[in-house]
A and B are shown apart, each in its own frame.
Chain A
Amino acid sequence: MIKTRDISVTVNGTLHAATVEPRLLLADFLRHGLGLTGTHVGCEHGVCGACTVLLDGDSVRSCLMFAVQADGRSVETVESLGRIGQMNALQESFHAHHALQCGFCTSGMLITATDLLKKYPLATDREIREGLSGNLCRCTGYEHIVKAIRAVVACNSGEAR
């Protein structure tokens, strides 16, 4: 019998204590343990990008991490970005540019884009597309997703001037 572990993880600013089996994936802990179902689970082997969350600010696949590994660390999910009526600029841009159809990939796209915007200049569409290459949209709505991110880049660089 494998012994369970006590962990405490800060998720979207709130400290949560839990007792988990070591094999519990972080994605499942977020969804089933905390009810944060904004994080979606697609492929469960790190290919589709739907489950991407921020760990101490860096994007990671929550299906390739165990909840026990997040002990003492800070996780942010799509729920942290904004809420209905109070969406952040990236979410507003996705809305304005029709950057989602079924919505399954959207939380992973938003979290990935959040990290990309922080770390890369994204000066060209090619850079945006390369940055998104690890996130699959089976509605194939990439064109609009790229447009939405490009608009945020343009807006940010306007502010910087």
Chain B
Amino acid sequence: MKPPPFDYIVADSVEMAVAALAQAGGDAKVIAGGQSLVPMLNFRLLRPSALVDINRIQELAFIRETEGEIRVGALTRHYQLETSPVIARNFPVLACAMTHVAHLAIRNRGTIGGSLSHADPAAELPMMALLLDAKISIASASGRRVTAVRDFLLDALTTDLAPGEIVTEIALPKLPARTGWDFQEVARRYGDFALAAVAVTLTVSDGVIAQARIALTGVGPTALRAADAEALLVGGKLEPSLTGHAIENVRATIEPDTDLHASSDYRRHVAGVLLGRALNRAWCRAQECAA
């Protein structure tokens, strides 16, 4: 249970980090919080030639508010996201979701760039990035690019990130006024990976749902958005029959795996129950905003 030998490079800037990755030719790994990487090293599931440590790159640790969006640096720790006044004001749903990420000692260290790049199918951050239509900024030795999170999450533990690329920040467009929200999760033990989790935002205008967003995690190879269920909510008032349709639609769409922790049927059932709760809470919150 000790990691294999590796060379260790401390990067002081993004340029230095991507240069080190390019030089290693795909055999190096970036280490940020290390909360998923170090267990994999300790188990010797990975044997990188080198670790490029980005923990000292100050330019990657920030939460900034601009007129239309919030930009969050890749090195932002989960605990900072959980407690940031800017996040609390703009995305209370995100602050709430962060309290479900593992345990304090993990949240103190784990980073948002790391969680996105690791892309665990039951993690909260990828689902929240999907819910909030995040744009992901990526750097490599050959330049920079921006991609939508829905094009970034490809499969379980698999992203669009090429060897030599690192996530530098995410940008989250602000939500419209009168948007209610909720986050619901079931895990075996508080802080464990979700057996199923649902996050919802409902924007209400003239008494009906003008925009609905539903994101889920733990119920497929990646976090996902329930686009069909979102579409059938728009234009309606949240009544039990409409909630029922949305639940039915989501249960019919998702294909959760059976594993050691829960069966596929259980996860499908729970996802529907959580969606019902989340829609009701989000609808109530949206009414409070309107009042």
> Measuring CB to CB, which residues of chain A are less than 8 angstroms from any residue of chain B?
2-3, 5, 21-23, 25, 28, 44-46, 49, 52, 55, 58-61, 63-66, 68-69, 112, 115-116, 119, 129-131, 133-135
Contact = CB atoms under 8 A, between A and B. Distances in A.
A153 to B, nearest CB: 16
B6 interface: yes
Nearest to A132: B103
Nearest to A46: B39
What interface size band does chain B fall in? 20 to 34
Contacts of B5: 2, 21-23
Given A22-B8, A59-B108, A60-B109, A65 B3 contact: no
Contacts of B103: 49, 112, 131, 133-135
Given A45-B43, A66-B8, A115 B38 contact: no
Contacts of A66: 8, 34, 38
5 tightest A-B CB contacts, nearest first? A134-B103, A22-B8, A45-B39, A44-B1, A58-B108
Interface string B32-75: 00110011011100000001010100000000000000000000
Contacts of B38: 45-46, 63-66
A129 B189 CA distance: 10
B176 interface: no
A49 B105 CA distance: 8
A134 B2 contact: no
Given A64-B38, A65-B109, 10 more contacts: A22-B5, A23-B6, A46-B38, A55-B108, A65-B34, A115-B105, A119-B79, A130-B190, A131-B103, A133-B103
B276 interface: no
Interface in B148-205: 189-192
A3 B7 contact: yes
Nearest to B103: A134
Nearest to A21: B5
Interface in B1-31: 1-8
Nearest to B192: A133
B141 interface: no
B242 interface: no
A64 B104 CA distance: 14
